A and B are shown apart, each in its own frame.
Chain A
Amino acid sequence: MSSAAPPQVGAAAQKPKKVGLTERGRAERKLAWMLCAPAVFVMILVTAYPIGYALVLSLREVDLRFPNEGGFAGLDNYITVLSSGLWWEVVFNTLLITVISVIIELILGMIIALVMHRAIFGRGAVRTSVLIPYGIVTVVAAFAWFYAFSPETGFVNNTFLSPDDKAWFGEKGSALTVVIFAEVWKTTPFMALLLLAGLTTIDEGLYEAARVDGASAWQRFVRITLPLMKPAIAVALLFRTLDAFRVFDSIFVMTRGAQDTQSVSILGYDQLISRLNLGLGSAVSVLIFLMVLIIAFIFVKGFGASVPGQEEGR
């Protein structure tokens, strides 16, 4: 294992029997590479290459509706996007949806995780039922809530929530509220399950000791549960934040971006597919990619999110 890269020290420690690069070690290494090659190839084929291609397209004037135009555009497409008020409004929308839905999901998810963890009865029923929102097709969930809130078909306007005939999708605020609501319903279970995984790793003895010391349930939660769950929370937040940032399906079904409810993904889709303006659309794509990188970077550095990628270094 002399050639092992630093992150693998932990992994090497699990296999203390191996010393030096034996014949079997070399064969093992070759086999490992061969085993990884197909998956790595497929993953690169559809991400690294296209993102590079997007970069190239974003520097050109490419509009499939105007096949005779074209040519190198330099940073024009980026300037167009970044100087557009619409872009910043859409970024703001997306961040708003992301932050609000992730915060609500974290709180609700934590409650549901605690219920699943502590419940003495009904645990199976709760787990089974919360998996439905997780597994259901996002478009289906979006239609369900769309029809529920829509004044033409919905029941929401017949309830105490909304005594008058409210056009929920008629203005930005209420439309985004429904979008966030649908997102929260769909993804809270995922959050809850990730948090549950963190909960199960906590040693019960700690709670017993705290109880003996007279700590209240709230104190136990704040002093023991939260600190020990920090890694699980960080991972769950990272995943959900990046996932929420990509929000597309719900908005597509509910408003199709009307009432200024576009997300960055909807905006990108409109440029790429509705307008076939591949140059401009690719600039949007590249910018979205960069924003995702920045968000991930902030999480890893700021929260010290020890993402599963580092698990062998544990």
Chain B
Amino acid sequence: MPGRVLSRVVALVAILALSAGLYACGGDAGGGRNTLKFYIFNEPGGGPQKVADQCSKDSGGKYKIDFTFLPNQADAQREQLVRRLGAEDESIDLIGMDIIWTGEFANAGWLDPVPDDVVGPATENVFDSVLATAKFEDRMYVVPIWSNTQLLWYRKDKVDEPPQTWDQMIDVAEREKLKIQVQGNRYEGLVVWANAMIQSAGTEFVSGPTEVALEEEPTKRALAVMRRLGNSAAASTDIDTSNEDSARLGFEKGDSIFMINYPFVYTSAKENAPKIFKEMGAAVYPSVDEGKEAKPPLGGINIGVSAFSKKKDLAYDAIRCMIKPENQITIAEMGGLPPVREDLYDDPKIKKVYPGFADVMRESIRLAGPRPSESPAYTDLSLGIQRGVHPVTKIGDPDAAYEQLRDFVEQAVKREGLL
């Protein structure tokens, strides 16, 4: 009798297995010939979905955009995509790409270069800083859809004028015995910070695919400022593990005077910490040297078309539609994500999205310096930079710190060694 039980179990499992196979087929068939698979993280504002649905509808059945959501963290998103693309997966059509992946994905042959007839609409009125992230070896591989930038958020009740430089900022915070919130965990966010510091001091990480730039003088100045904050009483206790979200939570708690962060913190504070929200001011990212311009960090998403897609033409039709000015405005209205078109910042709708700081946003994106995303080994470079400056609380004397960072970056661009 137990034997019969066993055979029943086997039969049951066989049925389940078969039905699982059917699911898989059903899924694909449900996809259909005109369905475009769009892999992108789940933008919580819902703007991209709304825009995509509208475009699908407007296309009159020519295409239908279907979303597959990626994780939140950029590192995790990339890991998922890279595994799929490395496996030459045909089911991806459109890819929502963090601006730093362009070089790597293009070099690996995973992206279809943007055709000439799309380049025109894709670059019209777009910030130069943003366009720089769309190119690899002077060719456009991806189409920018929204941008992002970090601002200096400050407490208007604690300080009258936002500081211009990092040193001033630390001085004020130390004097007021309040904290500064930054992103210091060993992840991409730290590279965002380090890159802004290095560029603001007047140099770059790399000057070509395999050449390290990192001029000694400015690099040391940048590192010295990071070191100063790391060892200052103004640093939050969790500075070495902090990220965008922990910085936001820290600021909302009320014992911080400054925060470096993306504009999502503005709407968040409105909901979670109304008292602090009332006193929140936004300014352009501080610079390293007095009198020199800051190089604020740049974020955002470009859309790429997979080289393995079977529906590239449809995919570009969809892109043309999604990047239309009115759609960029919709995305900004729903999720607070800044448009890539410079002209839109005069639009009253965008001014409403960033009440009182739309100009600061435009200025910040205009000034922004992209991370070295053209580098095909960007991941290695990023890991190398992270290892080079983390933890900021333990950055040593400038000579040693400089050597260490340089070694890591050197090793990374040559793709040598373990990371």
Does the CB pair B249–A258 fall under 8 Å? no
Q: Which residue of A lies closest to B390 (CB)?
A: A258
- With A165-B237, A167-B238, A275-B379 known as contacts, the answer to whether A270 contacts B419 (CB < 8 A) is yes
Residue interface bits B222-239, CB-to-A below 8 A is 1, else 0: 000000000000000111
B346 is an interface residue with CB less than 8 A from chain A = no
B366 to chain A, nearest CB (A): 32
What's the interface size class on B, roughly? Answer: 20 to 34
A256 to B60, CA, bound (A): 46
Instruction: Contact check, A275 vs B237: say whether CB atoms are below 8 A apart.
Output: no
A277 near B: Cβ within 8 Å? Answer: yes
Q: Is A274 an interface residue (CB 8 A)?
A: yes
Complex: A64 Cα to B81 Cα, angstroms: 13
Chain A hits for B415, CB < 8 A: 63, 277
**Among A78-86, A96-104, A226-234, A290-298, which stretch is in contact with chain B?**
A78-86
Complex: chain A residue closest to B88, CB-CB: A64
Instruction: Give bound CA distance, A273 to B390, whole Å.
Output: 23
Q: Which of A151, A169, A273, A280 contacts B79 (CB 8 A)?
A: A273
Does A12 sit at the interface, judged by CB under 8 A?
Answer: no
Contact of B418 among A63, A86, A167, A256 (CB under 8 A): A86
Would you give the shortest CB distance from A144 to chain B, in whole angstroms? 19
Tell me the chain A residues, 250-277 only, with Cβ under 8 Å from chain B: 256, 258-259, 267, 270-271, 273-277
Tell me if A203 counts as interface (CB < 8 A to partner B).
Answer: no
B186 within 8 A of partner (CB): yes
Q: Are B187 and A258 in contact (CB under 8 A)?
A: yes
Contact A276/B86 with A169-B241, A171-B391 known, Cβ cut-off 8 Å: yes
Taken residue by residue from 33 to 72, chain A's Cβ proximity to chain B (1 for < 8 Å, 0 otherwise) reads as 0000000000000000000000000000001111100000
Stretch from B7-15, B18-26, B103-111, B268-276 forming part of the interface with A: B103-111
Q: How far is the CA of A284 from the CA of B83 in the complex (A)?
A: 19
* A5–B215 CA distance with the chains assembled, in angstroms: 70
Is A151's CB under 8 angstroms from B417's CB? Answer: no
Query: Does A87 belong to the interface (CB within 8 Å)?
Result: yes
| Complex partner residue of A258 from B82, B185, B246, B376, CB under 8 angstroms | B185
> In whole Å, how far is A187's beta carbon from the nearest beta carbon of chain B?
26
B289 interface residue (CB < 8 Å to A) = no
Q: How many A-B residue pairs have CB under 8 A?
A: 78
Question: Which residue of A is nearest B240, CB measured?
Answer: A170
Question: Among A65, A67, A170, which residue has its beta carbon within 8 angstroms of that of B377?
Answer: A65
Q: Are B417 and A170 in contact (CB under 8 A)?
A: no
Is A23 close to B, CB under 8 A? no
A128-171 vs B, Cβ < 8 Å mask (1 yes, 0 no): 00000000000000000000000110000000000011110111
- On whether the beta carbons of A275 and B419 are closer than 8 Å, the reply is yes
Inter-chain CA distance A274–B377, complex, in Å, is: 11
Asked if A170 contacts B241 (CB within 8 A), the reply is yes
Taking a contact as CB atoms under 8 Å apart, the answer to whether A167 and B376 are in contact is: no
Question: Bound complex: CA of A65 vs CA of B249, how far in Å?
Answer: 37
Contacts of A63 in B (CB 8 A): 415
Q: Is the CB of B380 within 8 A of A167?
A: no
* B107:A66 contact, CB within 8 angstroms: yes
- Given A66-B376, A67-B108, A171-B391, verify A271-B238 contact (CB < 8 Å): no
> Which chain A positions have C-beta within 8 A of B418?
80-81, 84, 86-87, 267, 270-271, 280, 284
Across the interface, do A274 and B379 meet the contact criterion of CB distance under 8 Å? Answer: yes
CB-CB under 8 A from B104, the residues of chain A are 65
Min C-beta distance of B241 to chain A, whole Å: 5
Residue with the highest number of chain B CB atoms closer than 10 Å, among A67, A86, A170, A256: A170
Give complex CA distance A267, B390 in Å: 18
Q: Is B416 an interface residue (CB 8 A)?
A: yes
Chain A residues whose C-beta falls within 8 Å of the C-beta of B82 in the assembled complex: 65, 273-274, 276
- A84: chain B residues within 8 A (beta carbon): 417-418
Q: Separation in Å of the A200 CB from the closest CB of chain B?
A: 27
**What is the chain A residue whose CB lies nearest that of B73?**
A256
Cβ contact within 8 Å between A67 and B109: yes
Q: Is the CB of A170 within 8 A of B391?
A: yes
Q: Provide the bound-state CA to CA distance between A166 and B238, in Å.
A: 8
- Distance between B188 CB and nearest chain A CB, rounded to angstroms: 12
User: B359-385: contact bitstring with A at CB < 8 Å (1 yes, 0 no)?
Assistant: 000000000000000001101100100
Instruction: Give CA–CA (A170, B416) in the complex, Å.
Output: 28
B385: min CB distance to chain A, Å:
14
Give B176 Cβ to nearest chain A Cβ, in Å.
Answer: 19
Q: Which chain A residues border B237 with CB–CB below 8 Å?
A: 151, 164-167
Q: Output the least CB separation between A242 and chain B (Å).
A: 23
Query: Could you tell me which residues of chain B, from 19 to 36, have a CB within 8 Å of some CB in chain A?
Result: none
From B238, B240, B383, contact of A259 by CB (8 A): B240
C-alpha gap A298/B380 in the complex (Å): 37
**Chain A contacts for B108, CB-based, 8 A:** 64-67
Inter-chain CA distance A276–B105, complex, in Å, is: 12
* Residues of A near any B CB (own CB < 8 A): 63-67, 80-81, 84, 86-87, 151-152, 164-167, 169-171, 256, 258-259, 267, 270-271, 273-277, 280, 284
In order of increasing CB-CB distance, the 10 nearest A-B pairs are A258-B186, A167-B238, A170-B240, A65-B108, A64-B86, A170-B241, A84-B418, A86-B418, A165-B237, A84-B417
Q: List 8 A-B contacts (CB under 8 A).
A: A63-B415, A65-B108, A67-B108, A151-B238, A167-B238, A256-B187, A258-B390, A274-B79
Instruction: Please name 10 further chain A to chain B contacts, defined as beta carbons within 8 Å, in addition to the given A167-B241, A274-B379, A276-B86, sorted by A numbering.
Output: A65-B82, A65-B107, A65-B108, A65-B377, A80-B416, A167-B237, A258-B390, A273-B82, A274-B79, A277-B415
